């Protein structure tokens, strides 16, 4: 039997961007539901850093102290070629409210956000699917199915999902934050344009036996990019570009199982050797490998971020390099701007067409990142690496220009631009 429940905005997808969207709307007093087809939050994922501008967003959401307590402050971004330190960016020199980044695993951030949503009585509805949607009317209509599990067998248990109940919905707005495989984007027939070839990145979280300091390091070889992020509790993240045959690669889902396969001493030794070969400056003793995953990536951007009363934010609208965590942080900006404009429409009678500005600004922000080509004058080493350096920086939009102008070559002044 179908049931009706009144609310104004439906957020589909409970990753960090979806949670920030629902939290922003909920704090504004907009009746909101947030659903996700998964059973619980991710346990492991690629994103692990919050940009300075995003810290300002979390300040407005009342979450800065919780993030600082759970995260690891990053004050310096250093750039290497082999063992040579070529350039650095000291975030403390920037005139920002939060002149630092915070390294924080996505799984921890999601737990903090979920707790805030529960506090304001906008709980995430896990195991809920948007099974039908109709955008032809004045307002979107659809059906939300609550799924239930049925497990059979003892030694080799099998789990089937079935529809436990359904809800007919007719919200004022639907916001899709469901990731790169977005059913809502497909239903709107919004294409993703490619901005480059598909690549593969390996992400690994591991335990080290000492304090790694407050510096993120980026390895910029002629043919690939790597990133080292210190994490809380003497953990660290190593992400590196790899180059197998890309033809059969597909995009992977986030890992949600807490199960971790134990690694042998030989596995740890091989990984440490690979790290030192790729990044000769790496001298941290590794005690344990937590997890390792290979993730394909292709720079892509939606031709538009929605229409009428259905809009996109985060990874379902774009995919950018995972090295600098710019995709998730762009999603936070989009979540705030989209929420503010929807509030203005619902509360103040702003025209629906005002959301076209959101689409144009968001598209321009990501396109400028994917097409960044202006290189510093007189610095030969950087010219061939400039687009990759830009993808490492914890900034977007106008902040990106500010950060690039503060980059310093070792023993040289700030960069000069053409």
Tokens of 350: 């702003």
pLDDT of residue 251: 42
Q: Which of 45-59, 144-158, 267-281, 397-411 has the highest mean pLDDT?
A: 45-59
pLDDT interval class at 378 (50, 70, 90)? low
H helices of 279-408, in order, are 326-348, 355-370, 380-383, 386-390, 397-406
Q: Which residues contact 50 (CB under 8 A, 6 or more apart)?
A: 58, 67, 71, 101, 102, 103, 104, 109, 325, 329
- pLDDT > 70? residue 282: yes
Q: Span 86-91, mean pLDDT?
A: 94
pLDDT recorded at residue 57: 98
Nearest residue to 168 (alpha-carbon basis) of 30, 312, 6, 36: 6
- For residue 256, the model assigns a pLDDT of 45
Burial track 362-372 (b if 16+ CB lie within 10 A, e otherwise):
bbebbeebbeb
Chain-centre distance for alpha carbon 203: 14
Supply the DSSP symbol for 405.
H
Residue 261: the pLDDT is 43
Confidence (pLDDT) at 152? 65
pLDDT over threshold 90, residue 367:
yes
Give me the chain's average pLDDT, please.
87
How is 108-144 classified by DSSP, letter by letter? HHHHHHHHHHHHTT--EEETEEEEEEE-SSSS-EEEE
How far is the CA of 375 from the CAs of 6, 81, 84, 389, 398, in angstroms?
A: 52, 18, 21, 10, 16
Q: How far apart are CA 103 and CA 117, in angstroms?
A: 22
- CATH code of domain 2-62+106-194+300-369: 3.50.50.60
Select the more confidently predicted residue: 366 or 156: 366
- Diameter of the chain by CA atoms? 71
- Whole-angstrom distance, CA of residue 112 vs CA of residue 16: 10
Task: Determine the average pLDDT of the residues in 330-347.
Answer: 98
The confidence score (pLDDT) of residue 415 equals 43
Strands 235-242 and 199-208 turn out to be antiparallel
This prediction has a pTM of 0.91
pLDDT above 90 for 341: yes
pLDDT, tens digit, 9 for 90 and up, residues 105-125: 999 999 999 999 999 999 999
Residue 384 has pLDDT above 90, yes or no: no
pLDDT tens digits for range 175-184: 999 999 999 9
Q: Which helix (H) or strand (E) covers residue 2, if one does?
A: strand 2-4
Instruction: Show the tokens assigned to 213.
Output: 């300091």
Q: Which stretch of DSSP H or E encloses residue 164?
A: strand 158-169
Considering only residues 117 and 386, tell me which one the structure prediction assigns the higher pLDDT: 117
Comparison of pLDDT for 403 and 257, the residue scoring more: 403
Is residue 262 over pLDDT 90? no
pLDDT of 43 strictly over 80: no
3-state class (DSSP) for residue 283: coil
Better-predicted residue by pLDDT, 65 or 413: 65
């Amino acid at each position: 039997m179908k049931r009706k429940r009144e609310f104004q905005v439906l957020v589909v997808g409970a990753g960090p961007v979806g949670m920030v969207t629902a939290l922003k709307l909920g704090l504004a007093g907009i009746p909101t539901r947030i659903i996700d087809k998964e059973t619980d939050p991710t346990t492991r994922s690629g994103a692990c850093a919050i940009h300075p501008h995003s810290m300002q967003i979390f300040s407005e959401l009342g979450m800065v102290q919780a993030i600082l307590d759970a995260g690891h402050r990053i004050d310096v971004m250093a750039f290497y070629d082999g063992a040579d330190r070529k350039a650095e960016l000291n975030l403390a020199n920037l005139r920002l409210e939060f002149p630092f980044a915070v390294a924080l695993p996505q799984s921890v951030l999601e737990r903090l956000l979920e707790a805030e949503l529960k506090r304001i009585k906008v709980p995430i509805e896990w195991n809920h699917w948007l099974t039908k949607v109709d955008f032809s009317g004045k307002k979107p209509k659809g059906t939300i199915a609550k799924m239930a599990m049925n497990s059979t067998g003892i030694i080799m248990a099998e789990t089937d999902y079935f529809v436990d109940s359904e809800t007919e919905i007719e919200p004022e707005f639907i916001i899709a934050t469901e990731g790169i495989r977005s059913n809502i984007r497909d239903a709107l027939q919004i294409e993703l344009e490619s901005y480059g070839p598909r690549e593969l990145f390996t992400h690994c979280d591991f335990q080290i036996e000492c304090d790694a300091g407050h510096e993120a390091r980026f390895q910029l070889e002629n043919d690939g990019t790597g990133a080292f992020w210190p994490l809380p509790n003497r953990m660290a993240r190593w992400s590196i570009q790899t180059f197998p045959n890309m033809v059969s690669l597909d995009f992977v889902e986030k890992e949600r199982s807490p199960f971790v396969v134990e690694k042998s001493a030989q596995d740890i030794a091989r990984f440490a050797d690979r790290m030192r070969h790729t990044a000769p400056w790496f001298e941290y003793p590794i005690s344990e490998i937590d997890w390792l995953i290979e993730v394909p990536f292709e720079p892509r951007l939606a031709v538009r971020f929605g229409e009428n009363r259905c809009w996109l934010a985060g990874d379902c609208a774009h995919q950018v390099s995972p090295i600098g965590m710019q995709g998730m942080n762009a999603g936070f900006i989009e979540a705030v701007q989209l929420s503010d404009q929807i509030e203005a429409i619902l509360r103040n009678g702003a025209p629906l067409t005002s959301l076209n500005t959101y689409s144009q600004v968001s598209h321009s922000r990501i396109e400028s990142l994917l097409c960044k080509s202006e290189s510093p004058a007189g610095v030969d080493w950087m010219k061939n690496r400039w687009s990759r350096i830009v993808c490492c920086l914890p900034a977007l939009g106008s902040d990106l220009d500010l950060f690039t102008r503060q980059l310093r070559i070792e023993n040289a002044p700030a960069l000069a631009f053409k």
